[in-house]
Chain A
Amino acid sequence: NAGVTQTPKFQVLKTGQSMTLQCAQDMNHNSMYWYRQDPGMGLRLIYYSASEGTTDKGEVPNGYNVSRLNKREFSLRLESAAPSQTSVYFCASMTVTNTGELFFGEGSRLTVL
């Protein structure tokens, strides 16, 4: 089972460049999430999608946009990358139940120079 697949795993950008992180899950989950992980700060929620066709802001949405393309895919776009967006990004998905478990991808390490 593939679970949650993120691409790319590593990316280096220059300030001002744009890029899209792709995420796909094959578990038929309704909810999908994008987090960033920074040293000493745990995981912070960027955006989430409770179901296909809906997206909502999390704690740190500034500088990002998302698209829930279909039930399987949830992409994260940086329109004009900044050094402050250097981080490890994790996509996750969850079943529809309120006591559901999050399933994480392996992460995407982004460096903005």
Chain B
Amino acid sequence: GDSVTQMEGPVTLSEEAFLTINCTYTATGYPSLFWYVQYPGEGLQLLLKATKADDKGSNKGFEATYRKETTSFHLEKGSVQVSDSAVYFCAPHNFNKFYFGSGTKLNVKP
């Protein structure tokens, strides 16, 4: 079945550092790919998405590119802020189902 693997956290960075969170997936067909973010005490919310190969999703300074050849969708941000501290989930979407990764907790220190 479909599945997703995310890099384990927590990831601790200083403010303005560069962020990469790795995500790889296995899926039948061509899933859409999503990154969701969960701030403390809240439900998940969509951060960005890409629906086909080579698409780049972007939002709030975060970016991820749909790499079909490597089945990856790595999340990047050039300069993180304290307010980016949260848990990030990679989630392929296929046949009306989402498959969530285990989540990567990001701590950004001032």
Contacts and interface: CB of A to CB of B under 8 A. Distances in A.
Given A40-B102, A98-B32, A31 B96 contact: yes
B100 A43 contact: yes
B24 to A, nearest CB: 15
Contacts of A102: 34, 36, 44, 46, 98
Contact of B102 (A41, A104, A105, A107): A41
A7 B28 CA distance: 36
Contacts of A48: 96-97
Nearest to A44: B100
Contact of A50 (B45, B51, B96): B96
Nearest to B4: A42
Contact of A101 (B43, B49, B97): B49
Contacts, number: 49
A48 B56 CA distance: 29
Contacts of A31: 96
Given A31-B96, A42-B102, A43-B100, A99 B51 contact: yes
Given A45-B97, A48-B97, A106 B42 contact: yes
Is the interface on chain B under 10, 10 to 19, 20 to 34, or 35 or more residues?
A: 10 to 19
B25 interface: no
Interface string B17-51: 00000000000000010101000001111100101
A98 B96 contact: yes
Interface in B51-110: 51, 89, 93, 96-98, 100-103
18 contacts: A40-B102, A42-B89, A42-B101, A42-B103, A43-B44, A43-B100, A44-B100, A45-B98, A50-B96, A98-B96, A99-B93, A101-B49, A102-B44, A102-B46, A104-B43, A104-B45, A105-B43, A107-B43
Interface of B: 32, 34, 36, 42-46, 49, 51, 89, 93, 96-98, 100-103
